[in-house]
Amino acid sequence: MLELRSHTINSSHNEIEPALQQLSRVLKSCLSEWKALIDAARRKHHVLNYFLMSQIKVLQTELAKFFATINAGQDVSVGLLHLLSHLKPDCKIEDIDEAVVQVMIKKANEQVLIDQRDAVTGGGVTSSVYQTVVAHLEDNGYSDPSVIKQVTRVLFRLRSVSERQQPEDLQQLLDKASRLARHVENRGGGAGISEIDIDCDDAGDTATRRDWATADDHLLALMAPAGDQQSALPADQAFNQLWRAFVDLLDESHRDFLSFDDLAKLLDRLRQRQSGASGQAFESLLAGGWPEDKPVALCLEEREQLPVTLHLFRAAFSRLPRLEEVLLCSEDTRPEELLVFLQRCLCDPSKAGL
């Protein structure tokens, strides 16, 4: 799972076979730890149970760019939209962008500031960063809801941990909000995200977070102090050090990698945007033959299983199943595949759902 794109481990060994065996043991240990981390994340964030371990990594890397730039939708893969359709059928780029905005605003609402002027008198007043920005815009004459919405869509891109820990940067944030609001209003309040990106004099900060480090950048920064000392280590020890640095970064989001927490927030938002029942209703002809709220078990000869299942599916939904709606089990089927498949099938709250 760890891609060593920006770091090279140089080691020399008198006997290569024992060295490779030891490195193999370290790699297996890292994989076991990664699986344990995924299991812990699944227990904490139920929505992650809809995806395989490898799919979670794809989501972490592919969705990160939506937090780092306002034009991420220009190069979204069909595979990403297909994965997200498990939570929101026919998921579109606009759905992802809107969910990202809601996550950013939620995070800004959770970041509480204390009005120090009132705190001195003993009556400390608290407000969130989001509330402070909206109040600032309204105080400066930008009360149009459409203007405020467009400003917040650009302003609240996910910020680094260091920025969240520096409330003194609030004034810079407020100044940026004013500049964005002025730009939107000058365009008649109808500027789209891409237009703000192109025309705003503050586009260098709002379009793409160029100063927001990638996971690789952080790894290199963490490993830099080791320098020559690490180069002198055996490959297994050097890799283990790099792995430890990687694990320490998992609680933070980066320009190319979302934390489990931020990914789960986004996926939950997408699921909430699903209108109505997430499943598909049975055709009335078939619906009466199935007991509600109870699983159905069919005992069939092996050669009959696939054609009967396809026939029932087509009778129920007037179409053949999509790829993600079918799991052909064999001796090579991994337990994780079965668990995720059942999670997608059985956790539909709709009584008549798939």
Task: Name the residue with higher pLDDT: 347 or 328.
Answer: 328
Pair (199, 117) in one structural domain: yes
Pair (96, 115) in one structural domain: no
Q: 279 in a domain, yes or no?
A: no
What pLDDT score was predicted for residue 266?
93
Total count of domains within the chain: 3
Q: 86 in a domain, yes or no?
A: yes
305 to each of 266, 297, 299, how far by Cα in Å?
38, 12, 9
Q: Is the pLDDT of residue 116 over 50?
A: no
Pair (322, 338) in one structural domain: yes
329 to each of 25, 56, 304, 338, how far by Cα in Å?
30, 22, 15, 8
Q: 1 in a domain, yes or no?
A: no
Which tokens go with 210?
A: 């160029």
Check if the beta carbon of residue 115 is closer than 8 Å to that of residue 125.
yes
Residue 94 belongs to domain spanning: 16-104+211-272
Q: 11 in a domain, yes or no?
A: no
Which tokens go with 270?
A: 């997408």
Pair (82, 229) in one structural domain: yes
What pLDDT score was predicted for residue 231?
52
Pair (85, 170) in one structural domain: no
CA distance 32 to 19: 20
Span 252-300, pLDDT tens digits: 887 788 899 999 999 999 988 665 444 455 555 555 566 666 667 778 8
In the chain, the percentage of residues whose pLDDT exceeds 90 is: 11
Pair (93, 219) in one structural domain: yes
Span 201-214, pLDDT tens digits: 444 344 444 445 66
Pair (260, 300) in one structural domain: no
Task: Name the residue with higher pLDDT: 245 or 157.
Answer: 245
- For the chain, give the longest Cα–Cα distance: 80
> Closest Cα partner for 262 from 250, 279, 248?
250
76-90, 166-180, 297-311: range with lowest mean pLDDT: 166-180
Q: 169 in a domain, yes or no?
A: yes
Q: 352 in a domain, yes or no?
A: no
pTM (two decimals): 0.70
Pair (98, 73) in one structural domain: yes
Pair (173, 25) in one structural domain: no
Pair (123, 185) in one structural domain: yes
Three-class secondary structure of residue 220 per DSSP: helix
Pair (215, 201) in one structural domain: no
Pair (67, 88) in one structural domain: yes
Q: Is the pLDDT of residue 342 over 90?
A: no
Q: 160 in a domain, yes or no?
A: yes
